[in-house]
Amino acid sequence: MSKRRVVVTGIGALTPIGNTVDEFWNGLMTGKSGAGLITKFDTAEFTTKFACELKGFNPDDFLDKKESKRMDPYTQYSMSTAKMAIEDSEIVLENVDRERFGVIYGSGIGGMQTFEAQTKNYLEGGPRKISPFFVPMMISDIAAGQISIRYGLKGPNYATTSACATSGSAITDAFMHIQRGTVDLMLCGGAEAAITPMSIGGFNAARALSTWNDRFLEASRPYDKDRNGFVMGEGSGTLILEEYGHAIKRGAKIYAELIGFGATGDAYHITAPAPNGEGAFRAMKLAIKDGEIDITDVDHINTHGTSTDLGDLNETIAVKNVFGEHAYKISVNSTKSMTGHLLGAAGAVEAIATILALKNGIVPPTINLDEPSPECDLDYTPKIAKKRDINFALNNTFGFGGHNSSLLFKKYEG
């Protein structure tokens, strides 16, 4: 069975550096840091007191007030970017077969804010104080369900959860459904709203977060010798994937083509990457093979690049092992230096950054990269965006538990 071509025809983004796609892209181009002191709770007793929060987001701009009150913030974020992406795609829903339009939408953690609030209600007032909406607000599949209900999308409908690879997995599954011919359109992505006491406290306990409270704007510094942990972020990214012929027939604008994926498991450790990035290596190799291109065709990689010691080192080794000498000709970057780590939303938000880099011929920078570690010797696009004609680009996301996702995008020439 021949593979059907898959293109990206709509995008929506809600990030710590911009609440629209245009604001997000402008933030990337200017090297904007989304970091700031946490405003969502009192951090007096916490080791880390900063994160990359959304700024100025109002769910009432996208949702009915009564409706939004019955949603965890992560679902509010997903509904908002889903609306953006559908509007951007200019799809007239009445003109498409909604039984062939599906939703795959993930969250690494789900409704953490709802869980903590309802736990507090229980501890203070007993089980009668638990909201009847507690479970449907908390569960990590409900964003996919709510999007499907809102737009009447009756194709495949489910969530992915693979930690920080979550929305990379969602995009992968959506891609395969279209290639197989199950559907013509898929709305996919991820959302996260985990800047909460338990999340920050938990990641602090695991010594995963940066503790540069007096230098928070510089704290997310992938590949730098002084990196000391990631910076928590929040937000959402949504993509509309569409079968090429379907998109052409309706006169859709096309951002890029998705041509390959690699999905692997480390089978090694609950948090640490496999030695030498072995799982990441195989994911990138598989994506390139699936896309039927040569390694020398790849111009750009938006890396996972979390600003952790082991993660950045092992991903660098993996890139060098995949590409050999060509690794030094690739423009590499980590947009997490600006957005922080959006956990389950990272893959979708960074896929959008990768797609826009292809479309615009500009590689976003890795900010705060003052002096790379000796072992980190690739072209990480330090501090300033770089113009470059990009024909093929990879987007990597890797998650706790050894989940690895690599997506291969191709420039669309029309």
**Which sequence positions are flagged as catalytic?**
164, 304, 341
The alpha carbon torsion through 200, 202, 207, 209 (nearest 10 deg) reads: -20
Residues 306 and 289: their CA atoms lie apart, in Å, by: 26
Residues 187 and 121: their CA atoms lie apart, in Å, by: 35
At CA 370, angle to CA 364 and CA 373, rounded to 5?
100
* Contact (CB, 8 A) for 367 and 338: yes
For the chain, the farthest-separated pair of C-alpha atoms sits apart, in whole angstroms, at 64
Tokens found for residue 236? 């959402």
| Phi, psi (degrees; rounded to nearest 5) at 310 | -70, -40
Residues 230 and 212: their CA atoms lie apart, in Å, by: 10
Which runs of consecutive H residues, i.e. helices, occur in 90-165?
112-125, 134-138, 142-151
Residues 252 and 99: their CA atoms lie apart, in Å, by: 20
Half-sphere exposure of 280 (CA within 13 A, CB side): 31
Which runs of consecutive H residues, i.e. helices, occur in 222-343?
244-249, 278-290, 309-323, 336-339
User: Residue 49, Cβ neighbours under 10 Å: how many?
Assistant: 17
